[in-house]
Amino acid sequence: MNMRCLVLLAGMMIVPSLPVFAQSYSTPVAYCRAVGTIDKPDSRYTGPKLPRWMGRQLNLSATQADQMEWRCAHGAILACVYGANIPCNAKADTNSQPSPAVNDYCRQNPDTSFIPAVVTGHESNISWACRGGQPYVTGSAELDAQGYVKSYWKPVKP
């Protein structure tokens, strides 16, 4: 058997073992069961971004699909609704070193108990304050296994 036949035969053996990649799914339930864990639906998901049942749970209409995100975590569906400081489309920035913007803020506001997200960055899970012009960490939000702020995401199901 020549090399070209071996390569063709090997390819034929691999393709049938990849059914998840060959199928498409029109509901988040079927999609998440098939893919398990993924940060954002990919081309295999062919349904609406905001199914009616999910919109009802999130208090969003079909025209508000751009105000939320959903993803799969171990086969379950998690949803996040954007808010003033809720970056649903980003994993948490866990850097506990003060940024230049945080340092500047503390120089200008030497004794403040809170540094706003516009300064720290909306993706940061770290809360900051200033004492004597120096930044310090006051806390951090808990992250889920995929690296998102856990409190922003809630399980949803039909």
In 3D space, the residue among 83, 81, 115 whose CA is nearest the CA of residue 101 turns out to be: 115
Domain map of the chain by residue range? 3-85+143-156, 100-140
State the burial class of residue 71 (Cβ atoms within 10 Å of its Cβ: 0-12, 13-18, 19+): buried
C-alpha–C-alpha distance, residues 149 and 142, integer Å: 6
pLDDT for 131 beyond 50: yes
pLDDT for 7: 45
DSSP string of 102-115? HHHHHHHSTT-S--
pLDDT for 112: 96
C-alpha–C-alpha distance, residues 129 and 72, integer Å: 34
pLDDT for 85: 85
End-to-end C-alpha distance for the chain, whole angstroms? 53
pLDDT band at 3 (very low <50, low <70, confident <90, very high): low
pLDDT band at 5 (very low <50, low <70, confident <90, very high): very low
pLDDT in tens, 41-65: 999 999 999 999 999 999 999 899 9
Q: Which runs of E-coded beta strand occur in 1-152?
A: 68-73, 76-81, 126-131, 134-140
Over the chain, what is the mean pLDDT?
89
pLDDT for 13 beyond 90: no
- Over residues 13-28, mean pLDDT: 67
C-alpha–C-alpha distance, residues 128 and 14, integer Å: 51
